[in-house]
């Protein structure tokens, strides 16, 4: 909205400036011609009176179709005779730029035209021509009122009327003197002195050639100001020589309604957010007590292999109740199966003990036994050689009684063996 308003203002001013270009060219040319004719009349007239200047003024104003004032300036730079009473007695030598202008025309002998030059008293621009009349030892100055230049302000104010947001538009002129001083005048603000903030904003916009904005509060209204330099237009056409003027407008927007709308929107947003937050908190609390806590109790009971009590699932969702019911059922089943398995295990233990007791009473030799191929001794588990009868006695229930076989008897007791055989 702000950028579009500024663009409309710039376009309108650019169009108006374009229309003024030809007017300024005509003024410059006509002013020089009028200045030459006035200089010729004054140079040849002795005993010049104020009435003579008024007569010349009327003729020039008729030719240029505008208001022209004539001033005579003595060699010291003081205006001693003029058709514009407000300027009588002004010492131009105290104004650095004017002093330099008078020195220039005196040395060069030419007519110098400066336009536009702002006149603070009348809030208008004037085109001034000045020359040095060597024969009279004084200066001649013509001032042409550029009344149409006020059209800038008319454009701005019409834009303010046609906009709902625009509170006011002010037009300022900044004159930067050669001495480095800044002169600020306004077409709309008739205050003798502008606030420091306004002056700083104007100069900042001028020095940076950018749009400067700042917020102000006047009569409980929220206002935003935008300061912008009016472009000089066609750079090939010089309006003035040796003088630096700048036009700056201030666009003041009344954003009170917009700010109130924003504030109301913020309040509504905060209320909606608070309602949503309350709903979320309420939902979370309800969710916590109706689901999370029963779920946590259920999980804890499952971890400890405990049955889930009815109070732990009270008020919870049906799915969790079904889980609790199913878990309790399987827990009871596991408990019954465990008790049955314990009984079976006890029975198995009892029978195992009986078997171990029976096995303990039965001793038998199994496996491969290392036996000497000569003496027939057997190597025991400790690695010692034992007689066969001793080894078997230790590792079985068998007991030995000694006798002798026929082969051994024949071999060992041959003499007795034959006797015994005969007896048989």
Per-residue model confidence (pLDDT) at position 192: 58
Bridge partners of 131, per DSSP, are 140
Alpha helices in 184-317 (DSSP H): 196-208, 256-287, 293-303
Answer whether 250's CB lies under 8 Å from 169's CB: yes
β-bridge mates for residue 253, sequence order: 166, 224
In this structure, the strands spanning 244-254 and 378-379 are: unpaired
Q: What is the mean pLDDT of residues 50-75?
A: 90
pLDDT at 29 over 50: yes
Q: At what angle do helices 151-161 and 2-43 cross, to 10 degrees?
A: 160
pLDDT tens digits, one per residue of 318-348: 777 777 778 888 888 888 888 899 999 999 9
Tell me, yes or no, if the pTM score tops 0.85. no
Q: What is the pLDDT of residues 156-203, one digit of tens each?
A: 667 666 667 777 777 777 766 555 566 677 766 666 567 788 888 888
pLDDT band at 133 (very low <50, low <70, confident <90, very high): very high
Cα–Cα separations (whole angstroms), residue 172 to 84, 87, 115: 24, 23, 17
pLDDT digits (tens, 9 = 90+) for 294-312: 777 777 777 777 777 766 6
| 34 — pLDDT class (breaks 50, 70, 90) | very high
pLDDT at 245 (0 to 100): 63
Report whether pLDDT(139) > 90.
yes
pLDDT at 171: 75
Mean pLDDT (the chain) is 78
Q: Which two tokens stand for residue 374?
A: 């000569």
Percent of the chain at pLDDT > 90 equals: 17
Largest CA distance in the chain: 210
Q: Give Cα 32 to chain centroid, integer Å.
A: 59
Q: What is the pLDDT of residue 69?
A: 92
Report, as an integer, the average pLDDT of 265-287.
Answer: 89
pLDDT confidence of 355, banded at 50, 70, 90?
Answer: confident
The pair of structure tokens assigned to 328 is 């309790």
Cα separation, 196 vs 314, in Å, equals 74
Residue 258: which residues within 8 A CB-CB, separation 6 or more? 165
Share above pLDDT 70 across residues of the chain, in percent, rounded to a whole number = 75
Sequence-distant (≥ 6) Cβ neighbours of residue 45 within 8 angstroms: 52
Question: The dihedral of CA 117, 122, 124, 128: what is its sign?
Answer: negative
Structure tokens at 317: 């969702």
């Amino acid at each position: 909205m702000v950028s579009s308003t500024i663009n409309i203002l710039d376009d309108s001013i650019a169009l108006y400036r374009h229309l003024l270009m030809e007017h300024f060219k005509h003024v410059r040319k006509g002013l020089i011609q009028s200045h030459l004719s006035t200089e010729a009349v004054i140079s040849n007239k002795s005993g010049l009176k104020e009435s003579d200047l008024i007569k010349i003024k009327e003729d020039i104003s008729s030719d240029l179709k505008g208001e022209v004032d004539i001033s005579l300036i003595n060699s010291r730079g003081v205006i001693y005779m003029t058709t514009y009473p407000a300027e009588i007695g002004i010492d131009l030598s105290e104004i650095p730029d004017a002093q330099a202008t008078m020195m220039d025309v005196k040395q060069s002998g030419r007519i110098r035209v400066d336009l536009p030059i702002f006149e603070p008293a009348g809030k208008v621009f004037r085109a001034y021509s000045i020359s040095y009349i060597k024969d009279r030892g004084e200066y001649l100055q013509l001032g042409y009122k550029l009344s149409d230049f006020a059209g800038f302000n008319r454009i701005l104010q019409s834009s303010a009327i046609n906009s709902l947001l625009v509170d006011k538009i002010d037009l300022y002129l900044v004159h930067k003197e050669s001495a480095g001083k800044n002169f600020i005048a306004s077409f709309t603000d008739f205050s003798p002195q502008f606030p420091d903030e306004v002056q700083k904003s104007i100069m900042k916009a001028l020095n940076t050639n950018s749009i400067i904005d700042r917020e102000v509060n006047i009569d409980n209204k929220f206002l935003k100001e935008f300061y912008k330099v009016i472009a000089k237009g066609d750079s090939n056409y010089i309006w003035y020589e040796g003088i630096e003027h700048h036009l700056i407008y201030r666009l003041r927007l009344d954003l009170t309604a917009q700010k109130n709308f924003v504030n109301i929107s913020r309040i509504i947003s905060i209320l909606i957010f608070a309602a949503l937050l309350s709903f979320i908190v309420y939902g979370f609390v309800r969710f916590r007590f109706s689901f999370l806590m029963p779920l946590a109790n259920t999980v804890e009971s499952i971890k400890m292999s405990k049955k889930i009590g009815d109070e732990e699932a009270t008020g919870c969702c049906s799915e969790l109740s079904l889980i609790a019911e199913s878990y309790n059922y399987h827990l009871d089943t596991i408990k019954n199966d465990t008790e049955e398995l314990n009984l079976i295990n006890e029975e198995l233990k009892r029978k195992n003990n009986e078997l171990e007791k029976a096995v303990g009473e039965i001793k038998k030799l199994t496996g491969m036994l290392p036996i000497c191929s000569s003496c027939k001794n057997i190597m025991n588990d400790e690695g010692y050689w034992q007689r066969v009868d001793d080894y078997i006695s230790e590792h079985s229930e068998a007991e030995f009684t000694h006798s002798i076989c026929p082969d051994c008897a024949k071999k060992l007791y041959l003499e007795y063996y034959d006797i015994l055989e005969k007896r048989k």
